[in-house]
């Protein structure tokens, strides 16, 4: 099979777009994981709630920008409330307790949005200034909105890089990720730091939910598929590492997209069509999990661990 280079470029952009989306999710999750040692399955719920807030606000105001300006703080407030009420009590518990309690949170939130917004999906529209397409070199025409997602994701990555490597808060976060006891020893209010980190993670999940709104349907349970992918990302990247989350997210985004679009074709070229048609899609959707199992089996600390190797 001949791979059309233009198509390859397209799919690479699609992979990049999925990747930055995953990064928005993974950055928060990996910080919470690395600093508070908390497995938060409900991170996907925050993403979902962010999308619901955005869709509702856009429905009322008709403005995407206004929706964005209000939905992200609203999500943040909700996240902080969840941290104060439930998650805070879980920091010292074992992983099993954390998994179960946050699983309970998922059930709660999925049902709560159904009660508040009804069972049918909500839909957001793309803002007018992003509803067109961008013409790139080599005849590639890419939807402006998806381009905006990539831009937002990269901007957030830059912001986090600056925050973490050049500010005092960042220093504390770095210290927390590699040595939790030390942060306390520095005389920092650890509780406050934890809440702040959680709030940051929630805001990022809220941004992801907001950006996903105009592409996907906003519905109960939308957080789980992306949550599972996000876990794959942070495990591959190395828990607690923003750099790992970024690289892992791009890797997963690109591998998943390219796998889905080219693997069946590649298999068709090598095996007989029947085998290829059966195995291709299966292998494509299993690809990232295989990747994760391989990484864990050979490099359990992830590709870019936070703690100095």
* Contact pattern from residue 10 through residue 39 relative to another protein, giving x for each residue in contact according to CB under 8 A and a dash for the rest: xx--x--xx--------------x-----x
Interface with another protein in residues 63-92 (CB under 8 A): 86, 89
| CA–CA distance, 202 with 209 (Å, rounded to integer) | 10
- State the nearest-atom distance from the C-beta of 187 to another protein, in Å: 29
- State the nearest-atom distance from the C-beta of 221 to another protein, in Å: 7
Query: Measured from the CB atom, is 61 or 133 closer to another protein?
Result: 133
Beta-bridged to residue 142, according to DSSP, are 134
Write the secondary structure of 122-182 as one string of H (helix), E (strand) and C (coil).
ECCCCCHHHCCEEEEHHHEEEEHHHHHHHHHHHHHHHHHHHHHHHCHHHHHHHHHHHCHHH
Stretch that binds another protein, among 104-112, 154-162, 185-193, 197-205 (CB under 8 A): 104-112
- Residue 136 found at the interface with another protein (CB under 8 A): no
Q: Are residues 27 and 202 in contact, defined by beta-carbon separation less than 8 angstroms? A: no
- Residue 103 found at the interface with another protein (CB under 8 A): yes
Q: How many CB atoms lie within 10 A of CB 283?
A: 16
Query: Measured from the CB atom, is 11 or 75 closer to another protein?
Result: 11
- State the nearest-atom distance from the C-beta of 166 to another protein, in Å: 29
- Residue 117 found at the interface with another protein (CB under 8 A): no
- Residue 266 found at the interface with another protein (CB under 8 A): no
How many residues form the binding site for another protein (CB under 8 A)? Answer: 76
Give CB contacts under 8 A, 24+ apart, made by 59-63: 59/122, 63/127
Interface with another protein in residues 139-198 (CB under 8 A): 141, 143-146
- State the nearest-atom distance from the C-beta of 168 to another protein, in Å: 29
Stretch that binds another protein, among 67-75, 174-182, 194-202, 254-262 (CB under 8 A): 254-262
DSSP string of 22-79, one letter each residue: HHHHHHHHHHHHHHH----TTHHHHHHHHHHHHHHHHHHH--HHHHHHHHHHHHHHHH
Q: Which residue of 80, 88, 91, 126 would you call a contact of another protein, by CB under 8 A?
A: 126
Query: What are the phi and psi torsion angles at 141 (to 5°)?
Result: -110, 115
């Amino acid at each position: 099979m001949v791979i059309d280079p233009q198509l390859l470029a397209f799919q690479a952009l699609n992979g990049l777009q999925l990747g930055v989306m995953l990064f928005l999710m993974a950055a928060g999750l990996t910080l919470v994981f690395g600093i508070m040692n908390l497995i938060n399955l409900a991170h996907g719920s925050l993403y979902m709630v962010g999308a619901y807030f955005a869709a509702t606000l856009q429905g009322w105001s008709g403005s995407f920008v206004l929706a964005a300006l209000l939905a992200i703080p609203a999500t943040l407030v909700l996240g902080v409330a969840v941290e104060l009420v439930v998650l805070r009590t879980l920091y010292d518990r074992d992983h099993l307790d954390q998994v179960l309690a946050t699983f309970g949170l998922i059930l709660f939130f999925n049902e709560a949005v159904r009660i508040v917004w009804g069972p049918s999906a909500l839909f957001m529209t793309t803002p007018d200034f992003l509803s067109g397409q961008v013409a790139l070199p080599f005849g590639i025409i890419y939807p402006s909105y998806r381009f905006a997602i990539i831009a937002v994701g990269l901007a957030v990555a830059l912001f986090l890089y600056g925050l973490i490597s050049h500010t005092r808060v960042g220093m504390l976060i770095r210290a927390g990720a590699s040595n939790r006891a030390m942060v306390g020893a520095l005389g920092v209010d650890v509780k406050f730091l934890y809440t702040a980190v959680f709030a940051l993670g929630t805001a990022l999940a809220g941004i992801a939910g907001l950006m996903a709104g105009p592409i996907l349907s906003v519905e109960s349970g939308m957080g789980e598929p992306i949550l599972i992918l996000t876990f794959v990302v942070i495990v591959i990247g190395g828990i607690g590492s923003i750099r790992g989350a970024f690289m892992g997210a791009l890797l997963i985004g690109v591998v998943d997209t390219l796998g889905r679009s080219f693997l069946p074709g590649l298999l068709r070229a090598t095996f007989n069509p029947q085998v290829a048609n059966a195995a291709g899609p299966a292998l494509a959707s299993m690809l990232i999990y295989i990747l994760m199992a391989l990484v864990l089996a050979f490099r359990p600390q992830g590709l870019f661990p936070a703690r100095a190797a």
